[in-house]
Amino acid sequence: MQIPYLSLQNSHHMPNTEPLVSIIIPTYNRAHLIGETLDSVLAQTYLHWECIIVDDGSTDNTDAVVQTYVAKDTRFQYHHRPPEHLPGGNGARNFGFKMSRGEYVIFLDSDDLLIKETILNRIGNINFYKCDFLVNLTGSFRKNIGDSEIIWNKLFNKHSYEEHLLRFINIDIPWHTTSVTWNRKYFALNGIWNEKLIAWQDWELHCRILFLKPNITIIEDRPDHFFRISRHASIGKLIKTESYFDSVYIAVLSINQLLSDNAEVFEYVKKSYFKFICNVFIIYPLKNSFNLFPIKIALKRRFFIGCKRIVFLKYYLKGLVFKSFKIRKYILGNYYSKHLAMTQMESTYLKLTIKALNK
């Protein structure tokens, strides 16, 4: 059950006794896009919000664009990430959280959009359910809302926290960064972004939180925010660097430690966990021509619970052989064309999954 969408008749007269909502936006060289994002914030029918934009070292005219909004409405704040926070979106988000005052917090990407009733309806649902964090459905757009029917993923309110965790381990990322509205006190005690990560930071944060058995409410019916589909996303370059895979290793190792400390949870996910390790640290590196990266992982002192190094290396050698175009075609024979077609069909979903892991 979920409460109906709230009436908007008196939304513009909402008193400041309503909870303050902090919208935190990290940005880097998005001068050409961030205006649309800030317009969607400015259009909110819920009035008691603050929007904290944190620049991560932009070299374009982001300053000039954002300053026009600061001059227009005092609810906007603009900061540059200070040196005590590491470069990257995580450092900018943590600093933005430090500067915020809201009882509830939303992390919004600087090229994505909210609908006008996003905050109004989220606060209504939070007041009704009294949850640790609320999750809403994410839609997509290319140039304008409505030009894409792709949704981020399906959401299931009846799922247990173990089932949500299993979806993350299956790289079936259930929700987007902006999907979540955090209770400030809960996030301050249990959250905070890992600033050492340049990739998979939201995966690590949400998995880490799920081990605490939070009270989650999921609103399944329709999107209330939209992520931008862009072929020029920075992830296209990032995934080809070894630092990307190093970051993934750090993120997975964080969750691996929690699995080691929680035998019951590990028992629930163990059938998928080894497959996950092989996908992330064998298949992905080989696809991106980092052929020696799996060896680097296998030689690390800290390996993964329930995963034998010798079996990992066996799968690596098979993957290395199978990577060869001629060998793959020979082994698959008449099934090669079907295999290639399936790969192409999966490419769109894979791109969206990759974006989810690196927001």
Query: Is residue 221 located within the same domain as residue 242?
Result: no
Same domain, 137 and 270: no
Mean per-residue pLDDT of the chain:
87
Find, among 211, 218, 204, 132, the residue nearest to 168 by Cα.
204
Does pLDDT of 68 surpass 60?
Answer: yes
In the chain, the amino acid numbered 350 is L
pLDDT in tens, 212-226: 999 999 998 899 999
- Dihedral of CA 68/71/73/74: which sign? positive
pLDDT bucket at 158, cuts 50 / 70 / 90: confident
Q: Is 70 exceeded by the pLDDT of residue 281?
A: yes
- CATH of residue 44's domain is 3.90.550.10
Cα 195 to Cα 131: distance, rounded to the nearest angstrom: 26
Asked if the structure places residue 223 within a domain, the reply is yes
In terms of residue numbers, what domain contains 38? 11-232
User: 104 in a domain, yes or no?
Assistant: yes
Number of structural domains, the chain?
2
Predicted confidence at residue 108, as pLDDT, reads: 98
- Residue 10 in this model has a pLDDT that exceeds 80: no
- DSSP designation for 13: G
Residue 9: pLDDT over 50: no
For residues 18 and 117, membership in a common domain is answered with: yes
- In a shared domain, residues 226 and 301: no
46 and 173 in a single domain? The answer is yes
With vertex at residue 359, the alpha carbon angle to CA 73 and CA 250, rounded to the nearest 5 degrees, is: 130
**244 CB neighbour count, 10 Å cutoff:** 22
Provide the percentage of residues in the chain whose pLDDT is more than 70: 83
263, 153: one domain = no
In angstroms, what CA-CA distances link 294 with 7, 200, 278? 55, 18, 9
Picking from 97, 38, 40, the residue whose alpha carbon sits closest to that of residue 68 is 38
Are both 277 and 194 inside the same structural domain?
no
> Residues near 320 by Cβ (< 8 Å), separated by ≥ 6?
286, 291
pLDDT of 161 over the 80 cut: yes
Q: Answer with the residue of higher pLDDT: 237 or 86.
A: 86
Q: Are residues 141 and 249 in the same domain?
A: no
The pLDDT of residue 92 is above 80: yes
Q: Are residues 243 and 226 in the same domain?
A: no
